[in-house]
């Protein structure tokens, strides 16, 4: 096969890039090691920045989002005895929207099928070749047949464990593992709050989120090596009720349908381009989920890269040559914000550290400039 762009990884980043390139008349082929059903079912991010929402609408992917998405003006910050609302619209003129990654993936898959962009799922033995010259990707397809795709450009949207990142020699890596993890819970219960609650508590961080008017998402700070088997439904609801407790407010409970432990870390690899190979999304960077930046960062990468590749295929390599440096500016800004939110809200260290965290929380909710800084980063730097 021959195409202009072969995209390794058919999650939201890869699917969106294929869609954006297709709108510009640029051919692409997607190669994904998981089944389509697995990709579509992955429960990940659920908060979309204002710029992400605007982009999806502008490229014909906003129909279900506009009906089912839950627009939020801001978030609640809480610690024992206090809960404060930060209104992003008042502070920076931007809102955020709750719309699950699974739903974005569904929308993108439907768009891909309508456009007829080729995609190979359940691919094994995926390998990249000659990325600084005439690149190609080889793999074994779902039927066991060996395949080769020649292209002008290869884009790695295949996450941390994919082959794309490892195809860049002498890359520089920055990484930080945090001394805690999240126990994530999905429950069939209507949200108990109008917007997300980020709660600092002596027992550890807790978060009340949602996926729809009927499904809620919760997180509890736990140890990185926590045994999920030790957390019964009753223990989870008790811990959530304790850490999210607030006078006059009740946490509604329901059937827990999914629970898992998510380690927390920051990871950045540079450069994000090597010859005709480009990295986007988790293949280049991972952030702790506290600031809700993972999916939005991937969208920002892809939006930038789609413009750069479109210009390059039309004879102007300026944006393509600057892609890595330009993308990394946002990556490091969002990495810092995610680290800051994580460090402020998760119980760690001693009682001295706890007092510093509470001082920062009080400053954030009482200072317009501090609240504006959080709102500006959380709602998203414009694409």
Residue 90 included in any domain:
no
Residue 103 included in any domain:
yes
> Which structural domain range is residue 330 located in?
5-72+96-174+265-342
Is 278 one of the catalytic residues?
A: no
CATH number for the domain that contains residue 134: 3.50.50.60
Residue 43 confidence class, pLDDT cut points 50, 70, 90:
low
Query: pLDDT above 70 covers what percent of the chain?
Result: 99
Count of H-run helices and E-run strands, the chain = 12, 20
Count: domains in the chain: 2
Mean of pLDDT values over 328-344: 97
pTM score, whole prediction: 0.94
Q: Are 221 and 205 in contact (CB under 8 A)?
A: yes
Asked whether residue 58 falls in the same domain as residue 125, the answer is: yes
pLDDT at 44: 67
Q: Are 268 and 335 in contact (CB under 8 A)?
A: yes
User: Angle at CA 73, nearest 5°, toward 71 and 74?
Assistant: 115
Other beta carbons within 10 angstroms of residue 304's beta carbon come to: 19
Residue 251 included in any domain:
yes
Rounded CA separation 277/120 (Å): 19
Catalytic residue among 72, 201, 208, 346: 72
CATH number for the domain that contains residue 194: 3.30.9.10
Beta-carbon contacts of 240 under 8 Å, excluding residues fewer than 6 positions away, are 185, 206, 208, 218, 220, 251
Is 346 one of the catalytic residues?
A: no
- φ/ψ bin of 264: left (φ > 0), alpha (ψ from -120 to 50), beta (otherwise): beta
Catalytic residue among 198, 219, 278, 323: 198
Q: Express each pLDDT in 241-282 by its tens digit.
A: 999 999 999 999 999 999 999 999 999 999 999 999 999 999
Asked whether residue 27 falls in the same domain as residue 56, the answer is: yes
Catalytic residue among 285, 289, 323, 346: 289
Residues 320, 325, 327, 328, Cα dihedral to 10°: 160
Residue 89 included in any domain:
no
pLDDT at 75: 98
- Looking at the predicted structure, is the pLDDT value of residue 313 above 90? yes
Asked whether residue 329 falls in the same domain as residue 317, the answer is: yes
Q: Express each pLDDT in 364-382 by its tens digit.
A: 999 999 999 999 999 998 8
Q: Are 189 and 182 in contact (CB under 8 A)?
A: no
Residue 88 included in any domain:
no
Is 114 one of the catalytic residues?
A: no
- Looking at the predicted structure, is the pLDDT value of residue 85 above 80? yes
Is 289 one of the catalytic residues?
A: yes
Asked whether residue 187 falls in the same domain as residue 50, the answer is: no
CA proximity to 180, closest of 342, 46, 332, 44: 342
Catalytic residue among 117, 293, 323, 346: 293
Is 117 one of the catalytic residues?
A: no
Q: 90-105: b or e for each residue (b if 16 or more CB lie within 10 Å)?
A: ebbebbbbbbbbbbbb
Q: Are 17 and 307 in contact (CB under 8 A)?
A: no
């Amino acid at each position: 096969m021959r195409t202009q762009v072969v995209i390794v990884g058919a999650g939201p980043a890869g699917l969106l890039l294929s869609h954006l390139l297709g709108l510009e008349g640029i051919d692409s082929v997607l190669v994904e090691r998981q089944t389509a059903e697995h990709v579509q079912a992955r429960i990940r991010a659920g908060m979309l920045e204002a710029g992400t929402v605007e982009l999806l609408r502008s490229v014909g992917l906003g129909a279900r989002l506009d009906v089912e998405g839950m627009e939020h003006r801001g978030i609640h910050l809480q610690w024992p005895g206090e809960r404060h609302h930060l209104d992003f619209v008042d502070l920076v003129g931007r809102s955020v929207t709750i719309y699950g990654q699974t739903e974005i993936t569904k929308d993108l898959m439907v768009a891909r099928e309508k456009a007829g962009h080729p995609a190979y799922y359940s691919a094994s033995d995926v390998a990249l070749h000659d990325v600084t010259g005439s690149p190609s990707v080889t793999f074994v397809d779902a039927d066991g047949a060996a395949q080769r795709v020649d292209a002008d450009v290869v884009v790695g949207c295949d996450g941390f464990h994919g082959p794309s990142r490892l195809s860049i020699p002498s890359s520089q890596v920055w990484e930080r593992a945090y001394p805690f993890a999240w126990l994530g819970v999905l429950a069939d219960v209507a949200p108990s709050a109008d917007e997300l609650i980020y709660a600092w508590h002596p027992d550890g961080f807790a978060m009340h989120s949602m996926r729809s008017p009927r499904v809620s998402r919760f997180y509890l700070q736990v140890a990185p090596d926590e045994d999920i088997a030790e957390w019964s439904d009753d223990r989870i609801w008790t811990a959530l009720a304790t850490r999210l407790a607030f006078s006059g407010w009740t946490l509604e409970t329901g059937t827990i349908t999914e629970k898992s432990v998510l380690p927390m870390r920051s990871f950045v690899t540079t450069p994000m381009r090597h010859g005709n190979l480009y990295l986007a999304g988790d293949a280049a960077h991972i952030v702790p989920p506290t600031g809700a930046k993972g999916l939005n960062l991937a969208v920002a990468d892809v939006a930038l890269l789609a413009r750069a590749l479109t210009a390059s295929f039309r004879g102007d390599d300026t944006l393509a040559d600057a892609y890595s440096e330009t993308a990394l500016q946002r990556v490091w800004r969002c990495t810092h914000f995610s680290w800051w939110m994580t460090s402020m809200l998760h119980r760690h260290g001693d009682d001295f550290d706890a007092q510093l965290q509470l001082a920062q929380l009080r400053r954030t909710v009482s200072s317009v400039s501090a609240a504006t800084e959080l709102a500006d980063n959380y709602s998203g730097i414009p694409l």
